[in-house]
Amino acid sequence: MTAPVETPPPGAPGELAARASRAFGWSFLNGIVGRFGTLAIGIALARLLGPESFGTFAVATITMLAVLSFNELGVSLAIVRWVDDPKTIAPTVNTVSVVMSSLLVGAMWFVAPAVSSALGDVSATPVVRVMAVSILINGIVAGPAALLQRNFRQGRRMAIDQVNTWLGAGVSLTLALLGLGAMSLAIGRIVGSLAAAVLFIAWSPLPYRFGFHRDVARRLLHFGLPLAGASVIVFLVGYTDQLVVGSRLGATALGFYVLAFNLSSWPVSIFSQPVRSVAPAAFARLQGEPDRMNRAFRSVFGILFAVVIPTCSLLAAAAVPVVRVVYGDRWLPSAAVLTWLGITAITRIFFELSYDYLVVRSATRGILVVQVLWLVALPPALLTGAHLFGLVGVAAAQFFVSALVVVPAYCFLLRRAGVQVAGLAREVAPSALGGLAIVGFTSAVAVTVSLPFAVCAVSGLFGAAVAAFLLFTRRRELAAIRSPRVETT
C-alpha cells in the first residue's frame, strides 16, 4: 500500500532535484533572453562594422580566451564539487585566481604585437591590450561565480549576465556609431564585465576574502592543474580553426568565419550552457550513488538532444537564408561555413556535457588524454582543408575530426565511468531521425520558395514541431524533473 506523498527533508534527493530544476529554468531563461534579447544589437553591429572589423575583434577575443582557459589554474571548479564547507577553500581560491590573472595581464601587454601579427592583423594590438583587462576581472570573480553555481543561484546569475550583456552591447553600439570600429567591441566588453564583477562580489554566498592555506592550495592544485591543462587544450581544439583561418586566410576571412561560428553557437548558448551551469553541481551531490548519477546523465542527455539535434539541423540546412535575412548579402561567404559548423555544434554539446560529467567523476586525466588526441588530429586536417577548400574546408575538417576521432574517445571514457554508451545511442536515435527529416524538408522548401524569410519561417515551424514531438515522447522524464517528490511505501 502506498502512503501519502511526503515532502523530502533538506538535502534529500527530491529537494536536490527541485533546486536543480529551478536553477535550470533560470539558466534556460538566461540563455534565451541573453541570446535573443541582444540579437538586434548584434545584427546592427555586424551590419555597421563589417567583416574586417569583426576579424580584428576576433583576433583580440581569441587571445583573451586563450589566457582565460588557464588563468585561475582550474581551482575555482573545486568549489563546485568540494564535499566540505566551501568557506574553507574560498579565500585560497580567490588569492590564486587573482595573483595568476594579474601576472598574465602584464604578460599580455608585452606579447600583444607578436600575437596579433601571427593571427594576421597587427592592427589588433591595441584591442588585444584592452581585452586583456577581462583576464583580471575573470580572476577576481572566479570564486564568487563558482559559489553561485554550487548553491544553484541561477536567478542571480541571470541578472548578472543580463547586466553584462546589455550594458556591454549598448556601449559597443554607441562607440561603433562614433566610429571606433573594433575597439568599440573591446571597450563594451570591459564595461559590461566590470559591472558584472561588482554584482558577483555583492551577491556571493560567502563574503569575499583573500587568504592562503598551504595544505588547501596543494589539494586545489592537485585537482585543478590537470583540469587547467585540459582547459588549455580545450581552448586550442575549440579555436585552432580560427587560428588557422586568421593566420592563413587573413582577418577579413576570419570575420566571415567568426560570424558563422557565432551563429552555430546559438544552440550551445541556449541549451547547453544552462545545463552546464546546473549539471556539475547536481552530479556532484550524487557522487556517493554512481548508479543514480549514471541514470541522471542518461536522462539529461536524452532530453537535451531532443532539442539540440533538430535546432542544429535546421540551422545547418537553412544557412543561406538565415545569413541573408539576419546579416545581409555581404556576409554570404559565412553561409557555407555555417552549414558545417551547425552540424558540428551537435558534437560540441555532447563533448561539453560529457566533460562536465567526467570531471565530477574525477576523470580529469582521461579528459586530458582525449583533448591531446583531439589536438594532435585537428591541425593537419584544418591546414589541409584551408589549403584545398578555404573557409569551407576548415569547417568541414572540424566536423570530421570531431565525429571520427573525438566522439569515440569520449564514448570510451563514459563507458569506463559506468555509462552504457549503447543506451545513449538508443536515447538519441529518434532525435537523429528527426534531424534528418528537418534537413530534407528545409532543402525542399529552399528549392521551391524564393523568399529567404519565407524559407526561414516555414522551416522553423517544421523544426519546432519536430522538437515538440520529441519532447512530448519524453514527457514523463520532464515531469519527473519539474515535480521531484518521493513516495514512501
Closest alpha carbon to 442 in 262, 333, 310, 323: 310
Task: Give the other-Cβ count within 10 Å of 488's Cβ.
Answer: 8
Burial of 2 (0-12, 13-18, 19+ CB in 10 A): exposed
Q: Are 277 and 27 in contact (CB under 8 A)?
A: yes
- How many whole angstroms separate alpha carbon 273 and alpha carbon 48? 29
Residues 6 or more apart whose Cβ sits within 8 Å of residue 130: 60, 183, 186, 187, 190
Up-side HSE of residue 485: CA atoms within 13 Å toward CB? 9
Instruction: Please report, for the chain, the start and end positions of each structural domain, with discontinuous segments joined by +.
Output: 1-37+232-489, 38-212
The pLDDT value recorded for residue 392 is 96
pLDDT on residue 314: 96
DSSP 295-310: HHHHHHHHHHHHHHHH
d(C-alpha 392, C-alpha 271), whole Å: 26
Q: What angle do CA 426, 427, 433 make, to 5 degrees?
A: 80
Distance (Å, whole) CA 72 – CA 93? 8
Please report, as a single letter, which amino acid is at residue 203: W
CB-CB contact of 204 with 148 (8 Å)? yes
* H helix intervals, 151-289: 154-177, 182-202, 214-249, 251-264, 266-267, 273-285
Q: Specify the pTM.
A: 0.75
Backbone angles phi and psi of 410, in degrees to 5: -65, -35
Residue 318 near residue 459 (C-beta atoms within 8 A): yes
Here the cell at position 122 is 597587427
Under 8 Å between Cβ of 352 and 276:
yes
Among candidate residues 237, 246, 245, 206, the one with its CA nearest the CA of residue 93: 206
How many other CB atoms are there within 10 angstroms of residue 231's CB atom? Answer: 23
pLDDT tens across the length of the chain (489 residues): 333 333 334 445 555 555 555 555 555 555 555 556 556 666 777 777 778 787 788 788 777 777 776 766 667 777 776 666 778 888 888 898 899 889 989 988 998 898 888 877 888 889 889 988 988 998 898 888 888 877 777 778 878 888 888 898 889 889 988 888 889 888 998 999 999 999 999 998 889 989 888 887 887 777 777 777 767 777 787 789 988 998 898 888 988 998 898 888 888 777 776 676 666 666 767 766 777 778 878 888 888 899 999 999 999 999 999 999 888 888 999 999 999 999 999 999 999 889 888 887 877 788 888 888 999 999 999 999 999 999 999 999 999 999 999 999 999 999 998 888 888 899 899 999 999 999 999 999 999 998 999 999 999 999 999 999 998 998 887 776 555 443 333
**Interior/surface letters 157-187, b for 16+ CB within 10 angstroms, e for the rest:** bbbbbbebbbbbbebbbebbeeebbbbbbbb
How many other CB atoms are there within 10 angstroms of residue 418's CB atom? Answer: 12
- Measured CA to CA, the distance from residue 210 to residue 9 in angstroms comes to 35
Please check whether residue 385 is in contact with residue 396, taking contact to mean a CB–CB distance below 8 angstroms.
Answer: yes
How confident is the model at residue 34, as a pLDDT?
56
Q: Which residue in 410, 407, 415, 416 sits closest to 367, CA to CA?
A: 410
Nearest to 350 by CA among 397, 299, 308, 288: 308
pLDDT the model gives residue 4: 35
Q: What is the pLDDT of residue 246?
A: 87
CA angle 187, 139, 36 (to 5 degrees): 50
